[in-house]
Structure formats: C-alpha cells, structure tokens
Amino acid sequence: MLLSKLVGERTKTNPSDATIPSHILLLRAGYIKLVSNGIWSLSMPAKRIARKIENIIREEMDAVEGQEVSFPVVMPKELWAESGRYFSIGDEMVRFKDRCGRDMVLGMTHEEAAVHFARDAVNSYQQLPFMIYQFQTKFRDEARSRGGLIRVREFTMKDAYSFHIDNEDLEKYYYRVYDAYTRIFKRIGMKDVVAVKSDTGMMGGSVAHEYMLLTDVGEDTIVLCSECDYKANMEVAVSVRDNLRDEVSEPLQEVFTADKADIAAVSEFLNVPENKTVKAVCYFIKGTEKPVICFIRGELEINESKLKKVISAEVVPANIKDIPGLHAGNIGPINLSVPDATVVFDQSLKGLNNLVGGANKPEYHIKGIDFDRDVKIETFYDVAKVKEGEKCPVCGKKLVLRNGIEVGNIFQLGTKYTKTMGMTVLDKEGKAVNPIMGCYGIGIGRAIASVAEESHDDKGLIWPMAIAPWQVYLCALRIDELAVKEKSEELYRALEEQGVEVLFDDREASAGFKFSDCDLMGIPIRIVISPKTLAKGNIEISTRDKKIQTDVSYLEAVHKIKELIYQLSG
C-alpha cells in the first residue's frame, strides 16, 4: 500500500473530545472516524487489523469444530417474542416497522437466530454436539457509549452457540472453548488478560466467565487473589473478613447522637470504629413501592448484583423519606417496624456484638447490639462488596481489586432458549429433550481498542505483529532523488512478492514528519532507505525499541526482514 494514497486523516494534535489513550491514538492515527454517538467508520488499516483478529478467532473456532454461519442483523419480532426477550429487553433493542407495518428488531445478539436455524435441522442426539458461529454486526442502543471503540452501539462481534445433549457434555465443551479463548487473546497480543467468574445476568444459565484485560481505563472491577488463582468479577466475588466479636457483650444502651446521620459522623461522635457499627441501605423493588432494607457492617457497601439474586428481584435505590416508619440516619435492626418490607442481613454482621446502630427514632442510636442476643435472625446473606485487602475465600491471602475491559465472555446457557423456542431432539431412549446451550462472544472493535490501550507509548500505537495492519513501514527519505526512488520501489516490490505486508511511505516529506507517522500508526518494523543508507550500501531496519543496520544486499534484506517478522510473531 502506498501511504500517499491511503485515506485516513492523521493529526498532530490530540482530538478535543477523547480522553483515553486508545481513543486518542486510534483517532489521531486515522484508524477510526465517528459517525454518530457510538457508531464508527473504520479506515483501511483498522479494517485490516479487524480482519487479522477475525482470522485468528476463526482458526480457533474451527479448531473446536465450529461451523461458520451468518445470521441476519434484522429479524422479525416473532422470533424474539418466542424467547420472550422482545418484551423483557428495554430500550437497548432497536425496534422498527418495515414497509408493511411488520415489527422488526435489530439483532443485539443471536441466540434466537441460532435456535431458529438449528431447531428444524437437528432432531437427534446423534447430531449433537455442534457449534455454530458468525461474525456479525450487533446493534445495542446503549444509554451511554464511551471511550472510542471500548463501548459502542454498533459493533462486529464473533458470537458462537453450542448445543449439547446434557450438562456433562456442555461442561466438557465449555472448557475447550475456555482454552481456545485463552489462546485467542494470547495470539492477538493481549498480555494482561484473565478469565474471571462472572454473573450470568439476564442471559440465564449457571456458569459464566468473562475475559478481562486488566487496565486502569476498564469499566469493570475484578477481584484477584494476591497469592492463589482466585479471581472473580466484583458482581460475584466473595471474601473472608476478620471475626470482630468481642469476648464480653455489653448491655444495650440508647445514646443521643443529635444530627449525626451517616456512619462516619456517628462513628466519630461515639468514638467507635466503623466496623463496629451497623448501617442500613434502602431500596425499592423495581416498579413497586415495596421497600428492601439491607443491614450491613458500617464500613462495607452493598453489592446490588448479589442483592438482586438474594431477593430474586431488581432493585432501585430508595429515598428513605418515601418509606413510612424509617428515620434517615437512625435506622437500626432493633425495634424496626416497616410494614411489607424485605429485610436482608449481610453475613458481615453474623455473630457480632457491641455494635452501634440506629435506634429507629430521630437523634438516637443504640450501643451494645449483639446480633446473637438481640436480633436473633436465622439467615444472613452475602450482599456486601468485596473490599481491597480482605481475605481470599480459597487461600486466605489478601485480595486486590483491578479494573478491566471485558474482551470476551462465555456462558453456559442451559435450556432457556431451546425450551422457550421449542427445540427438541430425541435422546437415546427416544424421548424428546431440549438441548443445552453454551454461548461465546468476542467483540472485534473492542479487541482493537483493548490492544491499543495496552500497547502504546507517548509517540503512538505499537501493534503486535500478529494483528498489525502492515508488518513493515518502508520509509523512503529523499524520494525526490532518483536512486532512493528506484531502490525503495525495488525493495517494496521484492517484499510484497515475498508476502510481506508493506506500507510504503512514498511521500515527499521530511524525515521527522514520516517517522512520526510511522510511530503514530504503530507499524512494528520500520525500514529506511535514504541517500545515507545508499551511500553505505546498507539498509536500516528498526523496531520501536531498537535499530539494526544491516550490511546486506536487498535480496538478503528481504530474508532478514522475514526472519524479524517471524521472531516478532512469537
């Protein structure tokens, strides 16, 4: 490719509305252009990166017997009504009518299409298991897209769906894909990816993992053990906390605390540590006036994902003034009287004594609360957010928190879709059963941005060889000189004939100008041909961190470059 002809705007200055490195650099280097909120065009080099990532994924999917297919982006309402998701999914699904007035949707994922595709063709257990996958555009009308390609509304995704006769078979296959995913991210060149247990969310199903690229700009929080292999998404992470029960329980005592309403103020006022207090956090069950009151140790916070699971309902934060019987800042487990409320106690309170909590009347708290003696509840639930420094549930060592970008996910789906959509096969006994599904996704654009996020320096992007848009940047300095022009064109042809991907900078521009573009675009190998190299009879080959002068003929140079590409490919 001739750089002089490449369409894509590179800029010297940072775009004003980008804040994270991948967004800034992809824009500055001319890889992407915004069309509308969360909707992007890709330039040729970005498309080349996408294609390389897709090819790596394709190889790995084929290696686990995947069959590449293609489902439509636009689907009729009926298909999504079958699974029920036409009704359960909110505004993030785009709905519209076609010219005949039929209700249509834009696919945001393709479970329905996959089941629709397979259910008539497959009717015997002998045809199981199988996996079908595609690369397809998804549209999710996110309330807020952000961060360039990190979170968008329209994107290409590899999504895969596997079908199994029983859980055991799914489990076996699931871990084959698990390994395939590990290989994919490694091959793409992402260094800091971990697979963590995750919430199955609205997808239904039991087991799920997210592949997280650990980076500060990540939107998700991941809990990792500093010593052992424990890792989990914050939504499902658990921890072990120190037992804070004192030997002697003091008697209950009401104390005047005036307007001290939050834990920090009360704990300071009464001179007790925050972890010797109990606080209440209030919610409503979504769409209702039914209050949910959670009691938790003062220094901890509620993990709403866990809470939703415990009470099997969505919750929204409540304004305490809207709940009769509650006094904001003075809610406590003793003398609590709120009709129709769901009350949840976090396990951090179990067996504790000598706690300070609200007295359920204004301006008073109660000291000396002993949960065993005074509250006497049977069941404690885990609804607390894990905090940095708490202990690992597996090995007891310290937990650390990191941010991450979700670059892939795998789910054991169960029979949610085969059941609702009426897909059955006959098993060995001739009985009709619903196949069990797994699904597996990787977003291509997000993968590009994630690598960019992880792999750049102050000059620009640094693509791993495996996905670089071109392997080599051939820079002809003083191309107005005939010798340079001839020799660089000769080398360009020689490299391309040998299958080396070359971006040939044939522009008449100064050295610094061209080098800057090379660095900005992040092409891994740079070759310079100039009057200087010609005079010495050598060529200059360099990577971002080292420069090699070779004293060789062009034919040998091609060989040398291919060798370097091979090395850098790992």
Q: Which residues are at the interface with RNA (CB under 7 A)?
A: 9-20, 23, 34, 36-38, 85, 88-90, 92, 108-109, 111, 140, 142-147, 151, 201-203, 219, 304, 316, 409, 411, 439, 441, 459, 477-478, 480, 508, 510-513, 515-520, 528, 530-533, 540, 542, 547
| Smallest separation, CB 76 to RNA (Å) | 18
Whose Cβ is closer to RNA: residue 137's or residue 510's?
510
Minimum CB separation of residue 307 from RNA in Å reads 11
Query: CA torsion angle for 162, 167, 173, 176 (degrees, to 10)?
Result: 130
Number of Cβ within 10 Å of residue 305's Cβ equals 18
Measured between alpha carbons, how far is 102 from 445 in angstroms, rounded to an integer?
Answer: 32
H or E element: which one contains 570? none
C-alpha span between 13 and 532 (Å, rounded): 31
Residue 245 or 507: which CB sits closer to RNA? 507
* For helices 167-188 and 44-63, angle between their N-to-C axes, nearest 10 degrees: 140
CB of 5 to RNA, least distance (A): 12
Query: Cβ of residue 261: shortest distance to RNA, in angstroms?
Result: 21
In the bound state with RNA, the residue whose beta carbon lies nearer, of 37 and 553, is 37
- Asked if 383 and 296 touch (Cβ cutoff 8 Å), the reply is yes
**Is 36 or 271 the residue whose CB approaches RNA more closely?**
36
> What is the closest distance, in whole angstroms, from the C-beta atom of residue 264 to RNA in the complex?
20
- Least separation in angstroms between CB 449 and RNA: 12
Contact assessment for residue 169 and residue 129, using Cβ atoms and an 8 Å cutoff? yes
Q: How far apart are CA 7 and CA 33, in angstroms?
A: 11
**Which lies closer to RNA via its Cβ, residue 179 or residue 508?**
508
User: In whole angstroms, how close is the CB of 203 to RNA at the nearest point?
Assistant: 4
The full 3-state SS of 291-337, as one line of letters, equals EEEEEEECCCCECHHHHHHHHCCCEEECCHHHCCCCCCCCCCCCCCC
Give whichever of 53 and 407 is closer to RNA, judged by the CB atom.
Answer: 407
- For residue 265, the minimal CB distance to RNA (Å) is 23
Amino acid at 392: C
- For RNA, give the closer residue by CB, 370 or 519: 519
| Inter-residue contact 431 to 26 (CB < 8 Å) | no
Please choose, from the candidates 270, 295, 280, 283, the residue with its C-alpha nearest in 3D space to the C-alpha of residue 349.
295
Q: Which residues pair with 277 in a beta bridge?
A: 356
Closer to RNA by CB, 14 or 55: give it.
14
17 vs 349: CA distance, rounded Å = 46
| CB of 441 or CB of 464, closer to RNA | 441
CB of 58 to RNA, least distance (A): 19
- Residues 518, 505: contact at Cβ < 8 Å? yes
The residues with which 295 forms a beta bridge, in sequence order, are 280, 345
Q: What angle do CA 221, 24, 219 make, to 5 degrees?
A: 10
**Residue 93 Cβ vs RNA, minimum distance, rounded to whole Å:** 8
Question: Alpha-carbon torsion 137, 138, 139, 143, what sign?
Answer: negative
Q: For RNA, which is the closer residue by CB, 124 or 510?
A: 510
